[in-house]
C-alpha cells in the first residue's frame, strides 16, 4: 500500500501543476517615463513658444506643417510636409485646410500648449 500511496503523491504533484506555469520572476525595472503635464509652467531656460506666431504660421504655411514643427510636433509636421510633396500638390489642398483650422484654433486659444505641454505665450 505504501508504494501505491507514493505513486499517487508523485502523480498528483506532477499533474496538478500547469505545464504553462512559470516560476515567479522578480519584476523588471521600468524607469519612469517623462510625461509632460498639459499647461505646466516652462522649466528654467525653456524658450516659450508664441501662440500668435504659431497661428499665423499655420494659416500661411499650414500645408507644409511649419506650425507643427514650430510647436515641437515633428511627426505631425513631417506627415503634413510629405503629404503635400508626395501627392504633387493635390494633398497640399487638404493640408492647407488642416493648417487653417489649426491656425484658427491656435488664435482662438483652443490649442494653448506646445508638444512639451508648456503654455504658449500670447
Whether residue 14 is contained in a domain is answered as no
Residue 33 lies in a domain: no
- CA-to-CA distance for 81 and 91, rounded, in angstroms? 10
On whether residue 31 sits in a domain, the answer given is no
The answer to whether residue 73 is domain-embedded is: yes
Look at residues 60, 67, 95 and name the one whose alpha carbon lies nearest to residue 79.
Answer: 95
pLDDT tens, position by position, 15-72: 555 555 566 666 666 655 555 566 667 778 888 999 999 999 999 999 999 999 999 9
In the chain, the number of structural domains is 1
- pLDDT, residue 34, reads 52
Which residue range forms the structural domain that includes residue 94? 51-108
Residue 26 lies in a domain: no
| pTM as predicted | 0.66
What is the structure's pLDDT at 35? Answer: 56
Does some domain include residue 10? no
Residue 89, pLDDT score: 87
Q: Is 13 part of any domain?
A: no
| Residue 88, in any domain of the structure | yes
The grid coordinates of residue 115 equal 508638444
pLDDT band at 5 (very low <50, low <70, confident <90, very high): low
Amino acid at each position: 500500500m505504501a508504494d501505491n500511496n507514493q505513486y499517487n503523491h508523485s502523480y498528483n504533484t506532477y499533474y496538478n501543476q500547469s505545464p504553462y506555469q512559470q516560476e515567479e520572476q522578480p519584476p523588471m525595472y521600468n524607469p519612469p517615463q517623462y510625461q509632460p503635464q498639459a499647461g505646466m509652467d516652462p522649466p528654467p531656460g525653456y524658450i516659450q513658444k508664441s501662440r500668435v506666431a504659431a497661428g499665423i504660421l499655420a494659416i500661411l504655411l499650414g500645408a507644409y506643417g511649419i506650425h507643427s514643427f514650430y510647436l515641437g510636433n515633428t511627426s505631425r509636421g513631417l506627415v503634413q510636409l510629405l503629404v503635400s510633396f508626395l501627392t504633387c500638390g493635390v494633398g497640399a489642398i487638404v493640408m492647407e485646410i488642416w493648417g487653417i483650422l489649426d491656425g484658427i484654433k491656435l488664435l482662438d486659444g483652443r490649442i494653448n500648449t506646445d508638444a512639451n505641454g508648456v503654455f504658449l505665450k500670447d
